[in-house]
Structure 1
Amino acid sequence: MSSNNIISVIDIGTTKIVALVGKKEENGTFSILGLGHVESRGVTRGNVLNIIETVKSIKTAVEIAEKQAGTTISEVYVGIAGQNIECIVNADYLNRNKSEEEISQEELDYFIKSQENISLKPGQQILQVIPKHFEIDGEVVENPVGCIGKRLDAKFHLIIGLTQNINSIKRCIANAGLRLKKIILEPIASAKAVLHPEEIEAGVAMIDIGGGTSDLAIYHKNMLVHTAVIPFGGNVVTSDIEKAFGLTNKDAERLKIAYGKALPEKNDSEEVVVIESKIQGREKKEIDLNNISNIIQARVEEILGFINQQIMLADGKKHIGIGIVLTGGGSLLKNMPQLTSYCTAFESRIGYPLVHINQNSQKLMNNPQYATAIGLLILGSEEENKKTIEKKTEIKQEEKATISVTDDFEEVI
């Protein structure tokens, strides 16, 4: 569904599946019409492993969103992450025959489209091509459209995924009775939802800590500089608590959410949490809050270590001017910004996905775990606008061609 400025999206995560229906208002913000949030089954570290279970979760989430929105969802934009996503930079150039003419949007689109023809490893395919850097005859430009010159040089950010994983997502959407409009990289979607334009201009790193993966997107001067998907998220923290204290996975998750801290606090050693087992015959457990925090800190530091490697790989000191924005469910751990700043040496804040949300819907969406879904909504709307503009351009060109033929015919007569 994408008519009347209404967009539908699905975020297929490791721990949750979210179906979202939103409408773009005249002021450019989005109103949320329907939200379906259910437990995810069949997904591991961002990759669909069990199609049947995943389809069931998608259908349930869609039904909830449809009921709230009072409409039927038929077509959707979907996010992808997963540990097998690869991002590379490809440099290319275009020698222009008509160097005195301005570069048109059509010419630039053709150049970007040509990047999909590069050689890849067997079993891979390009999901998305994102321009990273442009130069015209050696001069750096932000947008080459409207410029003149002989040679256009560019660097492109290529998002590459495994064909098998991409096909699994396509199959899940089709089996759920929906039409897939486009697959979008989740770190880019999350960044769209939580970053302010000033941050994207100054240079910022967005870290989305989900259940199965932690996603990174670095921006500088309104360009995407680097992306990465780390195959660890909140689930490994829960697993560590489960093993350390002999708890069930559900009890460990509840303990993490209710008492978890990324950094211990002074009074933690004096406080004890009592966990009553729901299994008959098992004794209750008394757990020191300081021990919980130490376990969480060790694992989070490891995840941030992997992220820090990616930041250094992207020359982060050069590109990140304003700091780090944390989002996703994992960002809600108490003291998470402080630990992130300590491990990365960058100022950090929590990113709530409210930048583009209508005031009436902000209370519903005031949670970092919805960053990806809201970002998909925004990017889906941009895709629809782009298609509308392209369609209008085609109609105008057809009208011009018709007028030209008519004029030529009249001259012959």
Structure 2
Amino acid sequence: GFTVDGQPSIRMPLGMHGYRLEVETHIITVAASAVDNLRNCVIQAGADVSQFVLNPLASAEVVLSETEREMGVVVCDVGGGTTDMAIFIEGDVWHTMILGVGGDLITSDIAHGLRLPTSQAEDIKMQHGHAVEAEIGENEEFHVRPFGEDTPLQIRRRELALIIEARVEEIFSLVQQEIKRSGYDGLLPAGMVLTGGTSSIPGIRNIASQVLGLPVRIAQPENLIGMTDKLYSPAYSTSVGLLKWSMLMTEIGGETSQ
């Protein structure tokens, strides 16, 4: 937050009068080559980049309540290649972290375990996947065609859930280690808000809560109109959050110019 003439904890100092302005800020760094490559891809697609925003910060704009931000909460975006986290305490970002694990590892485990093409493994994960093997009925099955088979085979859904559960437990064990390493593990009474496409897997909230020992809920962007049946999915939290972030930056820019 900002401090104006010794007065701390000011969220937005625009319009205030004072002689001395101080700010306590959280700096996020990234390899310049990664930023340049991403910018070039966007430009070649016919668009432009005005700003780069970390996934969980964008998601937080549309999935967190003010109460959660104030009390202490961690936003966890479980994507395909990475799991990105941001810890909010007293309304501000106190810590960010990125883990090199995500839903692609679950897909890879399914592909190897059931001998399937990766694209088919991804479809099966989203259509039949569940993160808690014990919650699946004994007789629940689905059909797949593994490599080397001429006809589809019946696969028990519990077998699939067992593969998913093991990897999900590992991912959240790593998340727990990072939260403890931050030193803020005892300051998160609001728990965790899960977002990202992987968080759509049924049962993942239960595993996360069990491993972390925190209350966990699945994110859902709020105050939307239009294609809400699609946009309410946690997979779109970052996209919707970026739109709101852009609106906020435009508003702040307008106020500054005035």
Check whether TM > 0.5: yes
Residue 340 (structure 1) shift: 0.7
When structure 1 is superposed on structure 2, of 237-246 and 155-164 the one drifting more is 155-164
1:165 aligns with 2:34: yes
By how many angstroms is 1:267 displaced? Answer: 4.6
Matches within 5 A, 1:217-366: 217-276=86-145, 282-353=150-221, 355-358=222-225, 360-366=226-232
Deviation at 1:162, TM superposition (A): 0.4
TM-score normalised by the chain length of structure 1: 0.57
Return the alpha-carbon distance in structure 2 between the equivalents of residues 245 and 135 of structure 1: 61
Deviations 1:271-304 (A, max 9, x none): 3322146x78634233222221111111111111
What letter is aligned with 1:301? E
> For the residues of structure 2 that align with 1:183 and 1:267, how far apart are their CA atoms?
41
* Structure 1 stretches lacking a partner, 5+ long: 1-130, 393-413
Offset at residue 193 of structure 1 (A): 1.8
How far does residue 266 in structure 1 lie from its aligned partner after superposition? 4.9
Distance in 1 (CA, whole Å) between partners of 2:240 and 2:73 is: 19
SS at match of 1:183: coil
Structural mapping, 1:41-80, within 5 Å: none
What CA distance in whole angstroms lies between the structure 1 residues aligned with 2:103 and 2:49?
28
Give RMSD over aligned pairs: 2.4
Once the two structures are TM-superposed, the CA of residue 155 in structure 1 deviates from its matched residue by: 3.5
- Give per-residue Cα distances to partners, 1:102-133, cap 9 Å, x unaligned: xxxxxxxxxxxxxxxxxxxxxxxxxxxxx5x7
- Taking structure 1 as reference, are residues 267 and 331 closer, same or farther at Cα in structure 2, changes over 3 Å only? closer
| Structure 1 position 140, deviation (Å) | 4.7
Match of 2:239 in 1: 373
Residue 390 of structure 1 deviates from its aligned partner by: 2.0
Checking the alignment, whether the CA contact within 8 Å between 1:135 and 1:141 is kept in structure 2 is no
- What SS does the aligned partner of 2:51 have? strand
Question: Which stretches of structure 1, 4 residues or longer, exceed 6 Å deviation after superposition?
Answer: 147-151
- Please state how far the C-alpha of 1:268 moved relative to its aligned partner: 3.5
Give the letter aligned to residue 367 of structure 1. Answer: S
User: Could you tell me whether the CA contact under 8 Å between 2:142 and 2:156 is conserved in 1?
Assistant: yes
Separation (CA, whole Å) in 1 of partners of 2:30 and 2:200: 29
Cα distance change on mapping 1:188 and 1:211 into 2, 3 Å: same
Residue 148 of structure 1 and its aligned partner are, at CA, apart by 6.2
Q: Percent identity?
A: 26
Looking at structure 2, the residues matched to 214 and 344 of structure 1 have their Cα atoms a distance apart, in angstroms, of 15
Separation of aligned partners in 1, 2:46 and 2:116:
39
Distance between the aligned counterparts of 2:106 and 2:72, measured in 1? 30
Partner Cα separation in structure 2 for residue 320 and residue 381 of structure 1: 29
The CA distance in 2 between the partners of 1:331 and 1:143, in whole Å, is: 31
What is the aligned length? 256
Whether the 8 Å contact between 2:108 and 2:121 is mirrored in structure 1 is yes
Structure with greater proportional strand content = 1
What is residue 202 of structure 1 aligned with on the other side? Answer: 71
Report the 3-state secondary structure (helix = DSSP H, G, I; strand = E; otherwise coil) of the residue aligned with 1:161.
Answer: coil
Partner of 2:53: 184
Report the Cα distance in structure 1 between the residues aligned to 2:133 and 2:84, rounded to whole angstroms: 25
Quote the Cα distance in structure 1 between the aligned partners of 2:136 and 2:257.
63
Instruction: Kindly provide the amino acid, as one letter, of the partner of residue 178 in structure 2.
Output: Q
Task: Give the structure-2-normalised TM-score.
Answer: 0.89
Instruction: Identify the match of residue 253 of structure 2 among 381, 387, 400.
Output: 387
- 2:106, 2:167 within 8 Å by CA — same for their partners in 1? yes
Larger radius of gyration: 1
Task: Report the Cα distance in structure 2 between the residues aligned to 1:208 and 1:248, rounded to whole angstroms.
Answer: 26
Query: What do residues 37-67 of structure 1 show as CA deviations (whole Å, max 9, x unaligned)?
Result: xxxxxxxxxxxxxxxxxxxxxxxxxxxxxxx
Which structure's relative contact order is higher, taking Cα pairs within 8 Å and 6+ residues apart? 2
- Would you say the 8 A contact 1:352–1:366 is kept in 2? yes
Classify the secondary structure of the residue corresponding to 2:133: coil
> 1:241-280 deviations in whole A, cap 9, x for unaligned?
0001111112211211122111113554433322146x78
1:201 aligned counterpart, secondary structure: helix
1:364-384: CA deviation from partner (whole Å, max 9, x where unpaired): 312111111111001101111
Aligned-pair CA distance for 1:135: 9.1
Please report how far the alpha carbon of residue 238 of structure 1 lies from its aligned counterpart in structure 2 after TM superposition.
0.6
1:285-334: CA deviations, max 9, x gaps?
33222221111111111111111112112233332121111111111111
